[in-house]
Structure 1
Amino acid sequence: MNLELTNPSILGPTRLSPEQMNLFVQSVNPHAIELATHYVAFGQYYGIRGDIAFAQALLETNYFRFTGIVQPEQNNYAGIGATGPGNPGAFFQTAEEGVLAHLQHLFAYAATEHLPSDYPLVDPRFHLVQRGSAPTWTALNGKWAVPGTTYGQTILNLYDRISKA
């Protein structure tokens, strides 16, 4: 794995293009929705690695196949609020809103600054996060997914595969 990815910050510039990200997911799931442009745009706005957040979305949704409890019509690419069969998590009106909520949730974990105000807060769990408690992807272990002892490493390994595709 790239040395830069041993424990990168959630905050930082996106390095992969939307085209590279979409081509990768479509090589695994030809029917995948194209969301990479939203991940890049909102990543840039919030100062978050949108490309690694995209890898997290692929992990959470099984490459946008939604084989778990979260269903496609929820537009919930991060499993926000999904805790089990009786609780499939949050619903978002559009794909764009779902990506926005994902990046806002990451911002809550990674930063202590106020959420920038150009977009409305759509993440229903933003205020439940201990602000700044996970500045790196591996610091999400045990916080985003429980027990999730290798959650961040799995995201980074998937990002590494995308970057080499």
Structure 2
Amino acid sequence: MNRFVKNINPKAPELGSYYLTFGDYYGIRGDVAFAQALLETDYFRFTGDVTLEQNNFSGLGATGSKARGASFKTAEEGVLAHLQHLYAYATTKNLPSRYPLVDPRFHLVERGSAPTWIALNGKWAVPGRNYGQTILDIYERMLHTSIQHLETTRQNLNP
């Protein structure tokens, strides 16, 4: 995941392990959430209303018209907030208690209203047409690039 984004933005922060760890804990595909972060941040180039210093990798509270949205103390906390927000959309279950609630918009979500990536259309980003499909397209490109890298590595190891 980190290698994929660094091919596009060499200055991108390395957040892949946070996405995988928190995704595993919340039962959400961390690799696909990472793809969503790439969409939301323009591959961590932050060309929209949110800045890198905010550690807001999912645009939480950035509603347009220069609204900066939420800020988090660390990159880890920003990723945690992203996964908690996805959890709110995905299920009506109580938030597991290992980590503190850091998503300031968790209680604003219609709980369980988007259990799939496609169901985020019109919910996470408005109007959000094809929002979930775009996330999955980025994920598929990331996966394809990873497979190509593995095949090249395997070929190089077997002369």
Highest CA radius of gyration, 1 or 2? 2
In the alignment, is residue 50 of structure 1 matched against residue 30 of structure 2? yes
Q: Determine the C-alpha separation between the residues in 1 that align with 2:54 and 2:138.
A: 23
Counterpart of 1:145 in structure 2: which amino acid? A
**Quick check: 1:41 aligned with 2:21?**
yes
Q: Which residue of 1 aligns with 2:123?
A: 143
Superposed displacement of residue 143, structure 1: 0.3
After superposition, the C-alpha distances for 1:12-42 in whole angstroms (9 at most, x for unaligned) are: xxxxxxxxx0000000001110000000000
The one-letter code of the counterpart of 1:159 is Y
- Off by >3 Å, runs of 4+ in structure 1: none
Equivalent residue, structure 1, for 2:46: 66
1:157 to 125, 137, 149: 137
CA distance in 1 between counterparts of 2:113 and 2:92 reads: 9
Letter in structure 1 aligned against 2:94? H
Q: Which amino acid aligns with 1:118?
A: R
Cα distance in 2, alignment partners of residues 100 and 117 from structure 1:
13
- Distance, in Å, in 2 between the alignment partners of 1:22 and 1:143 is 27
Q: Which has the higher helix share?
A: 2
Structure 1: gaps of 5 or more residues: 1-20
Secondary structure in 2 matching 1:41: helix
Measured in 1, the distance between the counterparts of 2:104 and 2:77 equals 12
Provide Cα deviations, 1:83-106, integer angstroms capped at 9, x if missing partner. Answer: 123421000000000000000000
Matched length: 145
| Unpaired stretches in structure 2, ≥5 consecutive residues | 146-159
Percent identical: 71
Match status 1:89 vs 2:56? no
Q: Matches of 1:71 and 1:61 in 2, distance apart?
A: 9
Normalised to the residue count of structure 2, the TM-score between the two structures is 0.90
Alignment deviations for residues 29-73 of structure 1 (CA, whole Å, 9 cap, x no partner): 011100000000000010100000000000000110101100011
Equivalent residue, structure 1, for 2:157: none
Mapped to 1, the partners of 2:37 and 2:45 lie a distance apart of 11
RMSD: 0.6
TM-score, structure 1 normalization: 0.87
